[in-house]
Structure 1
Amino acid sequence: MGTTTTTATPNPIISVHPHTRGDHQQLKREG
């Protein structure tokens, strides 16, 4: 779920949702 949303709009999501920043970082580390 989080992956799809982050992939759809990683930049805007981080700006709108600050707590998503951690999710995006984790995804980058895993990938």
Structure 2
Amino acid sequence: SDGFKTLDEGQKVEFDVEEGQRGPQAVNITKA
């Protein structure tokens, strides 16, 4: 699934979520 995170500077970051050994983790992180 796709998600997004807003940083303190207001920069949006897009990333994909994959199931890792310790649970979901963000991968393919790119600045929007």
User: Comparing both chains, which one has the higher relative contact order based on Cα–Cα distances under 8 Å and sequence gaps of 6 or more?
Assistant: 1
* Structure number having the greater strand percentage: 2
TM-score above 0.5, yes or no: no
The interval holding the TM-score normalised by the smaller chain is under 0.3
* Structure number having the greater helix percentage: 1
CA radius of gyration, larger in: 2
TM-score, L = length of structure 1: 0.16
